[in-house]
Structure 1
Amino acid sequence: MRIQLLSSLFLFSFSSYPYRVSSQPEHASFPPRGWNSYDSFDWILSEVDFLQSAEKISQRLQPYGYEYAVVDYLWYRKNVPGAYPDSLGFDVIDEWGRLIPDPDRWPSSEDGKGFTEVAQKVQSVGLKLGIHVMRGLSRQAYDANTPILDTTTGRAYEESGRLWRAKDIGITERACGWMPHGFMSVNTKLGAGRAFLRSLYEQYAEWGVDFVKHDCVFGNDLDVDEITFVSEVLQKLSRPILYSVSPGVIPTPVMEKDITALVNMYRVTGDDWDTWGDVAAHFDVSRWNKVSMDFAAANKIGAKGLLGRSWPDLDMLPVGWLTDPGSGRGPHRMSNLNLDEQKTQMTLWAMARSPIMFGGDVRRLDETTSSLITNPFILEINSFSTNNMEACETMSLRGLWNIN
Structure 2
Amino acid sequence: MKALSLPLLLGAVFFTHEARAQASVKPAAAAPAKFEQLARTPQMGWNTWNTFACDIDEKLIRQAADALVASGMRDAGYVYLNIDDCWHGERDAKGFIQPDPRRFPSGMKALADYVHARGLKLGIYSDAGAHTCAGRPGSRGHEYQDALTYAEWGVDYLKYDWCDTEGLSAPGAYTTMRDALRAAGRPILFSLCEWGNNKPWEWAKDVGHSWRTTGDIYPCWDCEFNRGTWASLGVLPILDKQANLRKYSGPGRCNDMDMLEVGKGMSEDEDKAHFSIWAMLNSPLIAGNDIRSMSAATRKILTNRAIIALNQDERGIQAWRFMNDGQLDMYAKPLAGGEWALMFLNRDDKPRRYTFDWNAHHIVDEISGSQVHFGKQRHGYTDLWSGATGDTARPAALTVPAHGVVVLRLQHQASGS
Match of 1:133 in 2: 126
Q: Please give the per-residue CA displacement for 1:264-301, whole angstroms capped at 9, x wherever unaligned.
A: 111111111111121110221223xxxxxx222x3x21
**Cα distance in 2, alignment partners of residues 271 and 58 from structure 1:** 27
- Structure 1 distance, partners of 2:164, 2:241, is 16
Matches within 5 A, 1:10-159: 26-59=37-70, 60-76=72-88, 91-109=89-107, 115-138=108-131
Structure 1 gaps of 5+ residues are: 1-23, 77-90, 110-114, 139-175, 187-192, 288-293, 304-308, 321-334
Structure 2 residue aligned with 1:340 = 269
Cα offset, 1:345, TM superposition = 0.6
1:17 — aligned with what?
A: none
Change over 3 Å in CA distance of 1:104–1:251 after alignment to 2: same
Name the counterpart of 2:201.
256
Q: Distance in 1 between matches of 2:178 and 2:48?
A: 24
Tell me how far apart the structure 1 counterparts of residues 300 and 249 of structure 2 sit (CA, whole Å). 26
Structure number with bigger Rg:
2
Matches for 1:253-402 after TM superposition, within 5 Å: 254-276=199-221, 277=223, 278-287=234-243, 294-296=244-246, 298=247, 300-303=248-251, 309-320=252-263, 335-384=264-313, 386=317, 388-393=319-324, 394-395=327-328, 397=344, 399-402=383-386
Unaligned runs of 5+ in 2: 1-34, 224-233, 330-343, 346-382, 388-398, 400-417
SS of the equivalent of 2:206 reads helix
1:227 corresponds in structure 2 to 174
Q: Aligned equivalents of 2:96 and 2:86: distance in 1?
A: 13
Whether the 8 Å contact between 1:31 and 1:353 is mirrored in structure 2 is yes
**TM-score, with length taken from structure 1:** 0.65
Q: CA deviation at 1:222?
A: 5.3
Verify the 8 A CA contact 1:219 1:255 in the aligned structure 2.
Answer: no
Q: Deviations over 1:48-85 (max 9, x none)?
A: 11101111112321110111000010112xxxxxxxxx
8 Å CA contact 1:130, 1:209 repeated in 2: yes
Percent pairwise identity: 28
Q: Which moved more, 1:390-399 or 1:370-379?
A: 390-399
Aligned to 1:79: none
Q: Residue 100 of structure 1: SS of its match in structure 2?
A: strand
CA distance in 2, matches of 1:354, 1:124: 27
1:239 aligns with 2:186: yes
* Normalised TM-score (structure 2): 0.63
Alpha-carbon distance change, 35 to 63 in structure 1, aligned in 2, over 3 angstroms: same
How far does the alpha carbon of each residue in 1:125-147 deviate from its partner, in whole angstroms, 9 at most, with x for none?
A: 00000001122434xxxxxxxxx
Residue 402 of structure 2 aligns with which residue? none
Larger relative CO (CA 8 A, sep 6+): 1 or 2? 1
Across the aligned residues of Structure 1 and Structure 2, the Cα RMSD in angstroms comes to: 2.6
Which residue pairs with 2:144 in the alignment? 198
Structure holding more helix per residue: 1
